[in-house]
Structure 1
Amino acid sequence: MHSPSAGRQADTFPVTDDRSALDAVARRLTCPHCGAAPLQRDARSLRCPRGHSFDIARQGYVSLLSGRRRHRGDDAAMVAAREAVLGGGHYQPLRSTITALVAEHSPPTTRLVVDLAGGTGHYLSPILDALPASWGLTVDLSAAALRRASRTHRLAAAVAADVWEPLPLAGRTAGVVLSVFGPRNTTEIDRILTADGIVTLATAGPEHLWELRDRLGMIGVDPRKADRLRRAFAGFSPIAGETVRWRLAVKHDEARALVAMGPGAHHLDLGQRDQAIDALPGLTGITAEIDVAVLRRHR
């Protein structure tokens, strides 16, 4: 449930005051139980107007889960693997491209950037540097990721929520929505975007990590993916896009992290994985190919 009036609030919260990101973003959060808004900070919790309370974790994020969820989120091992790969700069070409496209096409009135299934906030952080008049919000299911996301940038807050369920956000409140390798609930994306807001998608291209996929028998990219995305976002028009392609130079431990950071890792035999990776040269070239698209509603 979401309060109808919540979607009509003026999006005018400044970033020049001394509030924390969570304090500021709370004005755009809704109660996952009753839909009431806004949430207010009360010592170590957020509280809705009808009295529902949500504890703020020691690391700074807050869980707004309604009790229903399809998945458990990434575990600590997957998050650590992703941190190793991203922290090593291996995906910097993608990060830079996403930041540039958002900075070039975001509405000038953007005050909130929402990163859905945003993990540790790796892609959100440089966008907030580029849009210093905006706050950021990472939405994810993984406590291990949110512990990092809540501290990744002074303008970024983090909440636990299932992106497949109604999001605990007021309508028409996000000038930018990011979806980088994550699930895409188009109904909720459409609801939370401002009238002139943009959604930025990053999805694996057909040759992404093909060298590892071939060796390990991992599931490839669905050739119908582009058609499925077009149908899912039928109410949107592409306004910018780019295929980012580069070569990763990885050692064995980095190759293991590349495999372990994705959902396909759960379906692999660890012994066979290690044997296949150990058979690689000491430094191996791996293809990275990501499709990035910026969409806006039809006008």
Structure 2
Amino acid sequence: MTLPSPVVTALRCSLCGDPVEPAGRTLRCPRGHAFDLAKQGYVNLLHAKVPAGTADTAEMVAARVEFLGAGHYAGLADRLAKRAAGLRPNLVVDAGAGTGYYLARVLDEVPEATGLALDVSALALRRAARAHERIGAAVWNLWEPWPVATASAELVLNVFAPRNGAEFSRVLRPDGRLLVVSPQPAHLRELAAVVDLLEVDERKEERLDGALAGYFEPVSREEHIERLTLSPVDVCRAVLMGPSAHHPERLARLGEVTEPVEVTASFVLSEYRKLP
């Protein structure tokens, strides 16, 4: 597998900031820094260890692939893709892309677009690199300055992932847009009866706007709420694919779930305009 050419054009050397070019199964900058393309199709641009408990584990990735593959969040993915299609982007950067599920759905809806999947988990990006033929995947820590050219993208996606407002703004073109999906406090709240889940901040939307202030202004915000019936297996997957999986002590009662559980999926899709 190779990276799509628009992705290579947008990427920068993570050591010196120069443009990179493909050389066989390597990306190389003019100063000689080289980054090998993994056989699974992604490139690792990190040059530092990832802090423990930050990246998705193999178990988390497997749970996410199976849960999303069952279609539980398909409605959210469709809504995100339709909103993205209205913006008609050429390059879409998915910050915290995970397995590439949402980015692939966006690219299905926007045939002229190419996607760059950024995530700190190489295990997740193995999936993302194969999720769509127009996805190029690169391992990176979103809290660090991104190895992506300034003003190279028309759209940044951020779905349940860390938010680096400065980098969102830098990589977007002047008329670029940011689409953020975040859970509401009611999201999967019913599972709290059987699992000690990490709670969603009641002031999450307020904090979201605050984190982006100075870089973006809100354009619109819409809720996506639906009822889901999760089998015991899918209850486990829903929990294991999220941040609670980094806290095994919270999962002690997960095996007690033996019957389907009715839950509420509750998200907010926010669109932001880049400030001048």
Change in CA separation of 1:260 and 1:166 when aligned onto 2, cut-off 3 Å: same
Say whether the 8 Å CA contact 1:202–1:292 is kept in structure 2. yes
Q: Does 1:122 align with 2:101?
A: yes
Q: Is the 8 A contact 1:23 1:40 kept in 2?
A: no
SS state at 2:163 partner? coil
Quick one: which amino acid aligns to residue 10 of structure 2? R
SS of match in other structure, 2:8: helix
Using the TM superposition, give the Cα deviation of residue 216 of structure 1 relative to its aligned residue in structure 2, in angstroms. Answer: 1.7
Q: Does 1:258 align with 2:238?
A: yes
* RMSD, aligned CA: 1.6
Mean Cα deviation higher: 190-199 or 219-228: 219-228
Specify the alignment match of 1:9 in structure 2.
none
How far 1:259 moved relative to its partner? 0.6
CA displacement at 1:70 relative to structure 2: 4.2
Q: Find the counterpart in structure 2 of residue 140 from structure 1.
A: 119
The alpha carbon displacement at 1:74 in A equals 0.2
Whole-angstrom distance in 2 between the partners of 1:168 and 1:243: 33
Change (3 A) 1:194 1:68: farther
1:101 is matched with: 83
Q: Which runs of 5+ in 1 are unaligned?
A: 1-18
How many pairs were matched up? 273
- Superposed CA deviations along residues 178-219 of structure 1, whole A, max 9, x for unmatched, are 000000011111100111011100001010000112432222
Counterpart of 1:40 in structure 2: which amino acid?
E
Matches within 5 A, 1:110-189: 110-189=89-168
> Structure 2 length as normaliser, TM-score?
0.94
Task: Specify the code of the residue in structure 2 equivalent to 1:297.
Answer: K
Answering whether residue 269 of structure 2 is matched by residue 292 of structure 1, we say yes
Percent identity between matched residues is 40
SS at match of 1:216: coil
Q: What amino acid is the match of 1:167?
A: W
So what's the TM-score if we normalise by structure 1?
0.87
Aligned pair partner of 1:57 in 19, 24, 38: 38
Deviation, structure 1 residue 69: 4.0
Quick one: which of 173, 178, 181 aligns to 1:202? 181
Aligned to 1:44: 25
Letter in 1 for 2:41: G
Question: Contact 2:99 / 2:131 at 8 angstroms: preserved in 1?
Answer: yes
Distance 2:200 2:266 in 1: 11
Residue 10 of structure 2: aligned partner = 28
Q: Are the counterparts in 1 of residues 154 and 173 from structure 2 also a CA contact under 8 Å?
A: yes
Contact 2:2 2:41 in 1 (8 A): no
**What's the CA shift string for 1:226-257, capped at 9, x where partnerless?**
22111111132222221100011111111011
